[in-house]
Amino acid sequence: MSPTKVLIVDDSAIVRKIFSEELSRDPELLVVGTAPDPYVARDKIVRLKPDVITLDVEMPRMDGITFLRKLMHHYPLPVIVVSSLTEKGSQLALEALDIGAVEVLSKPGTAYTVGDMSVHLAHKIKAAALVDMKKRMIPKAAGPAPRSAPLARTTNKMVAIGASTGGTEALREVLETYPADAPGTLIVQHMPEHFTKAFAERLNGLCAAQVKEAEDGEHLVPGKVLIAPGNQHLQLRRSGALYLAKVSTGPLVCRHRPSVEVLFNSVARYAGADAIGVMLTGMGADGADAMLNMKSAGASNIAQDETSCVVYGMPKEAVERNAVDHIEPLSSITRRILACA
């Protein structure tokens, strides 16, 4: 296979240099060029035909959001957004995901060291290269999807969800149909720190259930959805009949922090048959082995089907390990969760 061709678009010469040097170390990637602004990028896209673009959101002459809208309309291709970790940058990055970007990444020298960044950046680009942009750009239905009816009975079930590439939109679709009394839910979405807080706040405004970034020691109760903070692991703990969230640092697991593997293993240990595991779209195998541990402990597990996945990687690995009880299209995930609860 020929290497994935990458174009780096950023007004910072330092960022362009770091990205180019780090990506050039990977034989599966080829940096075909860099651009300091969208006008230069436009000409290089036509001439160099990159497979993936990394795009800053705050640039002179034309901001990245405006450029992304034009690109998705005229020449859709996989875009990874890079942004500084400011509140404004986080909100703009989430807006970019709504427009059609497939991933967000923090700029080097902030959340990541250069060494950590090289692992994440190369991985994200390879995942982005697999994205079917025709599927990614399917118009969203007007208005929110109808929400599921409240649960007919009380339950001490809890839900653990793992997602990566394409997961922000998949999670939105699942959680928008959650009833207000849905089982307490823990989520790992591969995303840099600070972006997760803005992401949770956005979802909270769309959902009947409460959605927030997880805090260490927080109780997990029906109607509450906790999202792992970027750059920190999220685990389940139990104190008597109470479920608690544990947020901690630690080494990368399956090349990620937060890691689905870490969350699912804790759920297998502390929830057992009271758990429902869900694997959504994403590249790689993070969480697949731990999902099998969940199944062995009695959990009911669900995987998103290939047709509705932006990248059928993590669900595929879980299915191949025989860790999954139900394979569902994205539109049926919430219904299956509630049936298992």
Which residue in 10, 26, 56, 286 is the catalytic one?
A: 286
Per the annotation, the verdict on 331 as an active-site residue is no
Quote the DSSP letter at residue 156: -
Distances in Å between the Cα of 39 and the Cα atoms of 29, 57, 73, 191 are 24, 14, 16, 28
- Beta-carbon-side half-sphere exposure of residue 339 (alpha carbons within 13 Å): 10
Per the annotation, the verdict on 118 as an active-site residue is no
The sign of the CA dihedral 254, 193, 81, 113 is negative
Which residue in 190, 194, 233, 256 is the catalytic one?
A: 190
In degrees, rounded to 5, the angle at the alpha carbon of residue 153 between the alpha carbons of residues 147 and 154 is 100
Which residue type, as a one-letter code, is found at position 312? Y
Which residue in 118, 164, 266, 308 is the catalytic one?
A: 164
- Measured CA to CA, the distance from residue 93 to residue 74 in angstroms comes to 20
Other CB atoms within 10 A of residue 248 CB: 12
- Measured CA to CA, the distance from residue 279 to residue 291 in angstroms comes to 9
- Measured CA to CA, the distance from residue 160 to residue 311 in angstroms comes to 20
- Measured CA to CA, the distance from residue 288 to residue 317 in angstroms comes to 6
- Reading the block at residue 12, the tokens are 């910072």
In 178-218, beta strands by DSSP E: 184-189, 210-213
- Measured CA to CA, the distance from residue 3 to residue 58 in angstroms comes to 29
In degrees, rounded to 5, the angle at the alpha carbon of residue 281 between the alpha carbons of residues 276 and 287 is 55
Per the annotation, the verdict on 219 as an active-site residue is no
Distances in Å between the Cα of 51 and the Cα atoms of 77, 103, 167, 181 are 7, 14, 21, 43
List residues with catalytic annotation.
Answer: 164, 190, 286
